[in-house]
């Protein structure tokens, strides 16, 4: 009796409940699919099962001011027709510590569910290994279930199938698995992050590593989040790429990933970079999952677009992915992200989003993003690309940032939000400016850059808006000239999270925030 009781308990601990919460039907008018901020959803991995389109997703649970991936559980979304906007949400279908006896909680990273040849579902899940002395404890486990919603149980109770220890030693962070069952039944697993992509063949049992662990090369700018798929005999690898720089077709800011892709004619390559499938979105990370459903291809990705969203509070979106079959191999046409209909923006005096922004430190260091100046977004804990910044090993005493409008505008105020990691008076790091002033471009008479006359005091405190008002001026260009903080020996860098230019009266703002920061066609102001 006692033994049977213990056997029963063991079974309970090895099989995770199908879902701690009941599935709920939702009707959504567009992206993000879960938009109200109750459930953030991340790292989408779509698949087709039982005639429906499913998306496996993680769940971001970080508080708004915490910059960390706090991810306690996985969830599912299911629809019979993405166009219908009708989804079923299965919250909390699995947690690392419930499936894998060897796993720690709160790091339910990007997984993928694949139906095996035995018709059961295999869930490749990156989690933290509890009792490991590895320098990086992320490891990939495999769970199995008879249906996508579970219950899930460890398919390899001996431990992870990939880690820094198994099947061979490696020194990478072992996350972001993606799996392909090829037409001949052979199974391939790829994974990796921080520029390291690995691949290995698995046995047809979907679990046992079979081949050598290989480094995958040729995918330019690979950062993380690989997604393997095959179409018309060609292997496609989508991934989060961060080949940054002003001339990059991928991303201008190193923190922000695009979704890039490459092609190959055999699963282990050689791979050839092929282009960008999705430009950077509102979250710094980007994570692809592509699938064909009822004859239409879709790209699932995540953004920071949900209510209260952020880089660590991401939400899944789904858009159509089209092919250009006029070339060989076929190209993925860059996906056009869509957003659910938005309420009209309230009138505002801030006309900065209608300007193009530039700065004296051109090109702006790749960790920052000039577009942050007038994107209308302020955050409690911004990351570098949420800022324009000028930090460099040798900071100059003065910098400027500039707005340029296509036509003459009237201004009578401005607000600026400085960011710092060092106090005023510092000669290192990033400090609030010692002083700043506004200048405007006067195009007639004794033209040139002139101090804005009659301006009120220029506050320098960081962490909130500093407001300046002045009698109306008419101009096409406005500059904030910033004097760096210094300690007599060196100067600190400068950073601004948002800079507003205020018209006398509220006007409808320019809705296209994506246009913010792009170079305009209008001539410069000197």
**Residues making contact with ligand FUB (CB under 6 A):** 42-43, 58, 69, 109-110, 175-176, 224-225, 285, 287
Smallest gap from residue 30 Cβ to ligand FUB (A): 22
CB 344 within 8 A of CB 353: no
Give the position of tokens 């001996």: 158
Smallest gap from residue 224 Cβ to ligand FUB (A): 5
Smallest gap from residue 468 Cβ to ligand FUB (A): 39
Q: Which helix (H) or strand (E) holds 191?
A: strand 187-191
Residue 113 or 175: the one with the smaller Cβ distance to ligand FUB is 175
Residue 171 or 505: the one with the smaller Cβ distance to ligand FUB is 171
SS3 assignment, position 411: strand
Residue 223 or 499: the one with the smaller Cβ distance to ligand FUB is 223
**Buried b / exposed e along 261-298 (16+ C-beta atoms within 10 A):** bbbbeebbbebebbbbbbbbbbbbbbbbbbbebeeebb
Residue 100 or 400: the one with the smaller Cβ distance to ligand FUB is 100
Smallest gap from residue 432 Cβ to ligand FUB (A): 32
* CA separation, residue 463 to residues 132, 377, 398, 423, 460 (Å): 41, 13, 21, 12, 10
Smallest gap from residue 366 Cβ to ligand FUB (A): 19
Smallest gap from residue 285 Cβ to ligand FUB (A): 4
Smallest gap from residue 345 Cβ to ligand FUB (A): 29
Residue 112 or 497: the one with the smaller Cβ distance to ligand FUB is 112
Residue 153 or 311: the one with the smaller Cβ distance to ligand FUB is 311
CA dihedral 498, 503, 505, 511 (to 10 degrees): -50
Smallest gap from residue 93 Cβ to ligand FUB (A): 16
Detail the DSSP E strand segments found in 232-346.
234-241, 258-264, 272-278, 289-293, 296-303, 315-320, 323-324, 331-332
- Token pair listed for 183: 């037409």
Which value, in Å, is the radius of gyration of the alpha carbons in the chain? Answer: 26
Q: What are the beta bridge partners of residue 438? A: 480
Helix count (H) and strand count (E) of the chain? 2, 30
Smallest gap from residue 352 Cβ to ligand FUB (A): 30
Smallest gap from residue 42 Cβ to ligand FUB (A): 5
DSSP one-letter string for 5-29: HHHHHHHHHHB--S-SS--EEEE-S
Smallest gap from residue 301 Cβ to ligand FUB (A): 10
Residue 31 or 475: the one with the smaller Cβ distance to ligand FUB is 31
Residue 98 or 285: the one with the smaller Cβ distance to ligand FUB is 285
Smallest gap from residue 227 Cβ to ligand FUB (A): 10
In angstroms, the CA 271 to CA 265 distance is 8
- Token pair listed for 437: 């002033």
Q: Who's near 8: CB < 8 A, 6+ residues apart? A: none
- Token pair listed for 457: 């005091």
Smallest gap from residue 61 Cβ to ligand FUB (A): 11
Residue 98 or 284: the one with the smaller Cβ distance to ligand FUB is 284
- Closest alpha carbon to 125 in 155, 164, 166, 96: 96
Question: Greatest CA span in the chain, whole angstroms?
Answer: 100
Could you give the count of Cα atoms lying within 13 Å of 26 in the half-sphere of its Cβ?
23
Residue 42 or 358: the one with the smaller Cβ distance to ligand FUB is 42
Q: C-alpha angle 471/400/508, rounded to 5°?
A: 50
Residue 236 or 239: the one with the smaller Cβ distance to ligand FUB is 239
CB 14 within 8 A of CB 157: yes
CB 497 within 8 A of CB 480: no
**Buried b / exposed e along 464-492 (16+ C-beta atoms within 10 A):** ebbebebeebebbbbbbbbbbbbeeeebb
Residue 170 or 285: the one with the smaller Cβ distance to ligand FUB is 285
Residue 140 or 359: the one with the smaller Cβ distance to ligand FUB is 140
């Amino acid at each position: 009796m006692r033994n049977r009781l213990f056997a029963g308990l063991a079974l309970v601990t090895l099989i995770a409940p199908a879902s701690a919460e009941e599935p709920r039907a939702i009707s959504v008018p567009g992206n993000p699919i879960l938009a109200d901020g109750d459930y953030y959803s991340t790292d989408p991995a779509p698949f087709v099962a039982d005639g429906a389109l499913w998306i496996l997703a993680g769940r971001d649970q970080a508080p708004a001011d915490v910059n960390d991936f706090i991810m306690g559980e996985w969830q599912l979304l299911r629809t019979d027709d993405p166009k219908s906007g009708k989804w079923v949400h299965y919250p909390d279908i699995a947690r690392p510590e419930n499936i894998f006896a060897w796993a720690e909680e709160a790091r339910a990273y990007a997984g993928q569910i694949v139906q095996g040849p035995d018709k059961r579902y295999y869930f490749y899940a990156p989690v933290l290994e509890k009792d490991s002395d590895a320098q990086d404890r992320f490891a990939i486990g495999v769970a199995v279930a008879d249906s996508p919603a579970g219950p899930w149980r460890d398919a390899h109770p001996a431990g992870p199938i990939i880690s820094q220890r198994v099947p061979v030693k490696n020194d990478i962070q072992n996350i972001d698995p993606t799996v392909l069952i090829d037409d001949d039944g052979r199974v391939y697993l790829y994974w990796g992050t921080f520029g390291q992509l690995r691949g290995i063949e698995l046995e047809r049992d979907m679990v046992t590593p079979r081949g050598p662990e290989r480094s995958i090369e040729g995918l330019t700018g690979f950062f993380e989040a690989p997604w393997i798929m095959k179409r018309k005999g060609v292997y496609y690898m989508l991934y989060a790429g961060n080949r940054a720089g002003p001339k990059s077709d991928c991303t201008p800011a190193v923190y922000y990933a695009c979704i890039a892709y490459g092609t190959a004619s055999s699963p282990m390559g050689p791979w050839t970079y092929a282009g960008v499938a999705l430009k950077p979105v509102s979250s710094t990370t980007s994570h692809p999952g592509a699938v064909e459903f009822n004859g239409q291809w879709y790209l699932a990705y995540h953004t920071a677009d949900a209510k209260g969203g952020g880089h660590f509070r991401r939400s899944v979106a789904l858009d159509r992915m089209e092919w250009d079959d006029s070339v060989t191999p076929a190209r993925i046409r860059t996906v056009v992200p869509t957003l659910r209909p938005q309420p009209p923006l309230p009138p505002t005096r801030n006309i900065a989003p209608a300007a193009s922004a530039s700065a004296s430190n051109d090109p702006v260091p790749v960790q920052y993003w000039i577009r942050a100046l007038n994107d209308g977004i302020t955050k409690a804990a911004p990351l570098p690309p949420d800022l324009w910044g000028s930090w460099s090993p040798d900071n100059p005493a003065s910098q400027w940032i500039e707005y340029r409008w296509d036509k003459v505008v009237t201004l009578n105020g401005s607000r600026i939000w400085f960011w710092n990691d060092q106090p005023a008076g510092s000669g290192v790091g990033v400090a609030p400016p010692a002083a700043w002033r506004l200048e405007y471009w006067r195009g007639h008479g004794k033209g040139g850059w002139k101090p804005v006359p009659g301006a009120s005091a220029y506050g320098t405190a960081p962490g909130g808006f500093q407001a300046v008002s002045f009698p109306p001026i008419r101009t096409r260009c406005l500059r904030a000239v910033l004097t760096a903080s210094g300690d007599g020996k060196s100067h600190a860098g400068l950073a601004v999270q948002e800079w507003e230019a205020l018209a006398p009266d509220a006007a409808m703002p320019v809705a296209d925030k994506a246009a913010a920061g792009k170079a305009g066609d209008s001539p410069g102001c000197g």
